[in-house]
Structure 1
Amino acid sequence: MKKHIVREEAEKVKDAGETFDITDTELPHKETWKNHGTTTYFVDDDFCLVREKRYPLDHKHGKYRFKDLVSSVAAWQDFKGTHPLSSKGLSPEDLFFFDTETTGLGGGVGNTIFLLGHGRIDGDEVVVTQHFLPQPGSEIPLYHSFLKKVDYNTLVTYNGKAFDWPQVKTRHTLIKDHVPKLPAFGHFDLYHGSRRLFKHKMESVKLINVERKVLEFERVDDVPGYLAPMIYFDFIERRDPEGILRVMQHNELDILSLITLYTHLTFQLLEVSESSTEQETFEAGRWLEYTGNGDMAKQRFEHIVNDRGDQHHESIHHLAFRYKKEKDFDKAAQLWEGIGSDCPFRIKVIALEELAKIYEHKMKDYDKALEKCGELEGLIMNEVEMQDGSKAQKLKQLYTRIHRVSLKIQRKKLT
């Protein structure tokens, strides 16, 4: 009975959810899996595959080294405001860079996650860990291995709020009685940050485009993400890991790019780096303004205006509004008056409206207010691309102002 006793003891160990050498399974191509750093994770008689890869913090991915992530988190510690990407109060080890690969792009229970990948800083290394579903139906060991030691504070994803994490929650619901609970996470979704800062330079802010045009990282012989479901189904049929290992490489690069992208976005927002383009500085200022960090936004706009004078109309326009909000109407009027003739129509209209308001209500210079109303009337009348309905509405509001200002001028002359 000695063989049976040994076998029962081994099964009890596997029941505990431990990691074993890949050779403990009947999976084909064991040596290939093993050579790629893959082990097995057992729950009862079922298992998933776990692959781990480590990088030194000095490793460069795109324009940054991973140790720059440490600097970016440190920079947030002195941040006085609130921002959706702020890691104030966190350490670099708290950030959990996360990405999945699924059998389809839709949501719901019909879409299965077959690869859960995440990266984090561990000491002087970045550790990328991937949990792979070797066959449909083995989601209990997949999620058990993923959730057993998840103790991080903040997810960092790319469109993960809309896709990755909701999909994890959907699949978890089906097996929640057999695996640990989902942890409570904060969430940094870098997709939204990329849209804010980079949409001016690219039609699509897919991660691969951001890598190439912003992070200075070019993938070589990469498997496109849309092919991942087909490659996974081919693996299920033939059990050959060649294709799926390339999908895992694709997922790994996604995770590493999240680290670099978070670093870059932080550097732009907090001006840690001097490599920001003028437009990125403006977009960072506008994002800071939107999130209630008006003083920091003002600094960004002033930086651009001081460097470019009257050449960056958007920065002048936003800076003028900052001065108006601070009740510094002289500076606001000076900026709006200085907007050049090549300024876009939209900004010209708002600038003339604001000048008319300031001269009428704040400076009591009714002649100047009427002059700006006249300039605005000519601008609207000569704009051929403006729709008749909106033009009529704009002129109606303008004539109301002209009438009111004219009456004030008359009363002033009588006194």
Structure 2
Amino acid sequence: MSIKSKLLRMKNHLQVEDKIERPVEELKERIEVKKFDQGNGMETEFKEMGFEPFYFDGERSYRKRLLYPFDGERDRLLVDSFHRLKSFWEENDHDHPLSFRGKSLDRLLFFDTETTGLSTGAGNVIFLIGYARLTEEGIEVTQHLLESPSDEAAFLSGFLEDFAEDDYLVSYNGKSFDWPQVKSRHAFIRKQLPKLPSFGHIDLLHSARRLWKHELPSCRLSIVEEHKLHIYRKHDIPGSMAPILYFDYLHDKDPLHLKGVIDHNDQDVRSLVYLYEEIARKLFFSKEVRSSSMEHFYIGDWFEKLSMYEWAETHYKKAIECSTQSFSQGYFRLGLLYKKMGEKKKAIDNLETSIDKSAFPPVEAWIELSKYAEHDEKNVAKALTYAKEAYSLLKKANRVTEKKKIKQVEDLNNRLKRLEMKKAKQMGG
């Protein structure tokens, strides 16, 4: 059946979720899953696709290892970046979500799965696990394939045999989807399997969203690949096709149904290697990589939330420098950052600049300046002027949620009343 025909079929498959996410036992009954013995040609066909059989407790799954040798300038830069990042993490005790401090590069597993459904329900089955490792020679991709639902113990055992306590996963939505799936399937048959080890986990989806959710139409890996990594897939099988192709394979006993899914998974895990390097360089080697004003801004925001204020300061400044227009929001956030850092003069200067640079300055900038004028400068008249400007802007603003606006109006009313009383008291005195 052609890919076009399969895509048309997919619409019907995806209309009702449990057509894909059926329990394992129902799956076995519906598709007439048979134990594939060595005499039926299945092993030969899998070998032609690069897979070797793996046996465990009377069951069989398949495992494939493929090395992509380092070649060309891009690969040399990749290797150099990872060695420098390793040194950076070892020399700097930053508690950052991207850190793999204490881990060697070959313990990083860039990890992805393919499943029979799109949720984390108990009826969802993993049929392909792939991961890439950095080696001295290149990127090694390992894939484990579930021959049939009745071979799940062999499938997971083969994966766990490769897995060590000091491995560190790097995934894309793996914290929410892929690893919970592994834990769920392991729980079903754990009496037959080795213990599932604990480990560190870096989820690059969260990083990508922080940097690009306001810029890209979607943060799907394929979109990020094209726009940020300049990786363009040809004849790629969409991930949503994977369940249907696996069911076709089970029904027809034809491993070729899975070739597109296997290639898709292989590209996914290799892309994660380059994506990690791209994001980490933008964060920590910002002088060497080109980033947009908004990328710097959202990186600064990320560092600020992590209380890494010096890094946040660097990126907010770069956001302002890279902007082709007056970046009022950049000055505003830099002002708030300096307030947290206890640098009052810099805070006031940047808050005032944020007002000067915008026809619609942030209401909060006026409020912060009012606080400084009242408490630090002891200038009640100036504080009152700033508070009135904030109140006037807030009453006109449509850019805040109603709940937030009501609270701000209430707080400003209280501030105005108190400042009016202070001013009257000063004048009366």
State yes or no: 1:86 paired with 2:89: no
Output one character per residue of 1:118-156: Cα deviation in whole Å (capped at 9) or x when no partner: 111233222111110111210111111111131142111
Distance, in Å, in 2 between the alignment partners of 1:42 and 1:389 is 60
Aligned to 1:408: 422
Q: CA deviation at 1:59?
A: 6.2
| TM-score of the pair, normalised by structure 1 | 0.87
Distance, in Å, in 1 between the alignment partners of 2:305 and 2:76 is 28
The equivalent position to 2:133 in structure 1, one of 85, 107, 120, is: 120
State yes or no: 1:158 paired with 2:172: yes
State yes or no: 1:331 paired with 2:351: no
Aligned to 1:293: 308
Q: Taking structure 1 as reference, are residues 298 and 27 closer, same or farther at Cα in structure 2, changes over 3 Å only? A: farther
The equivalent position to 2:143 in structure 1, one of 120, 130, 144, is: 130
Aligned to 1:317: 332
The equivalent position to 1:187 in structure 2, one of 201, 210, 231, is: 201
Q: Taking structure 1 as reference, are residues 388 and 197 closer, same or farther at Cα in structure 2, changes over 3 Å only? A: closer
State yes or no: 1:399 paired with 2:387: no
Residue identity opposite 2:314 in structure 1: Q
Aligned to 2:12: none
State yes or no: 1:260 paired with 2:284: no
Larger of the two Rg values belongs to structure: 1
The equivalent position to 1:280 in structure 2, one of 295, 300, 307, is: 295
Larger deviation, residues 116-125 vs 159-168: 116-125
Q: CA deviation at 1:409?
A: 2.8
The equivalent position to 2:222 in structure 1, one of 171, 192, 208, is: 208
Distance, in Å, in 2 between the alignment partners of 1:333 and 1:414 is 30
**2:114 alignment partner, SS class:** strand
The equivalent position to 1:149 in structure 2, one of 147, 153, 162, is: 162
Distance, in Å, in 1 between the alignment partners of 2:273 and 2:197 is 21
**1:53 alignment partner, SS class:** strand
The equivalent position to 1:48 in structure 2, one of 21, 41, 61, is: 61
Output one character per residue of 1:175-200: Cα deviation in whole Å (capped at 9) or x when no partner: 21212111111110111111111101
The equivalent position to 1:171 in structure 2, one of 185, 204, 207, is: 185
**1:81 alignment partner, SS class:** coil
**2:268 alignment partner, SS class:** helix
Q: CA deviation at 1:27?
A: 4.6
State yes or no: 1:25 paired with 2:38: yes
Q: Taking structure 1 as reference, are residues 271 and 315 closer, same or farther at Cα in structure 2, changes over 3 Å only? A: farther
Distance, in Å, in 2 between the alignment partners of 1:284 and 1:63 is 26
Residue identity opposite 1:222 in structure 2: D
Q: How many residue pairs get matched?
A: 392
Unaligned runs of 5+ in 2: 1-35
State yes or no: 1:36 paired with 2:68: no
Distance, in Å, in 2 between the alignment partners of 1:131 and 1:59 is 29
Residue identity opposite 1:182 in structure 2: L
Residue identity opposite 2:258 in structure 1: I
Distance, in Å, in 1 between the alignment partners of 2:88 and 2:349 is 35
8 A contact 1:62–1:211 mirrored in 2:
no
Distance, in Å, in 2 between the alignment partners of 1:108 and 1:377 is 50
Q: CA deviation at 1:390?
A: 6.1
8 A contact 1:62–1:215 mirrored in 2:
no
8 A contact 2:297–2:315 mirrored in 1:
yes
RMSD across aligned positions (CA): 2.7
Distance, in Å, in 2 between the alignment partners of 1:169 and 1:309 is 48
Output one character per residue of 1:189-243: Cα deviation in whole Å (capped at 9) or x when no partner: 1111111111011132111111111111111100000000100010011122222
Q: Taking structure 1 as reference, are residues 32 and 306 closer, same or farther at Cα in structure 2, changes over 3 Å only? A: same
Distance, in Å, in 2 between the alignment partners of 1:27 and 1:294 is 63
The equivalent position to 2:112 in structure 1, one of 90, 93, 99, is: 99
The percentage of counterpart residues that share the same residue type is: 33
Q: Taking structure 1 as reference, are residues 322 and 33 closer, same or farther at Cα in structure 2, changes over 3 Å only? A: same
8 A contact 1:329–1:362 mirrored in 2:
no
8 A contact 1:62–1:216 mirrored in 2:
no
Q: CA deviation at 1:159?
A: 0.7
The equivalent position to 1:250 in structure 2, one of 248, 264, 268, is: 264
8 A contact 1:62–1:217 mirrored in 2:
no
Aligned to 2:236: 222
| TM-score of the pair, normalised by structure 2 | 0.84
Q: Taking structure 1 as reference, are residues 403 and 79 closer, same or farther at Cα in structure 2, changes over 3 Å only? A: same
**1:163 alignment partner, SS class:** helix
Residue identity opposite 1:248 in structure 2: I
Residue identity opposite 1:112 in structure 2: V
Residue identity opposite 2:277 in structure 1: T
Q: Taking structure 1 as reference, are residues 62 and 247 closer, same or farther at Cα in structure 2, changes over 3 Å only? A: farther
State yes or no: 1:108 paired with 2:108: no
Distance, in Å, in 2 between the alignment partners of 1:258 and 1:28 is 34
Aligned to 1:8: none
Distance, in Å, in 1 between the alignment partners of 2:87 and 2:401 is 51
Distance, in Å, in 2 between the alignment partners of 1:168 and 1:390 is 41
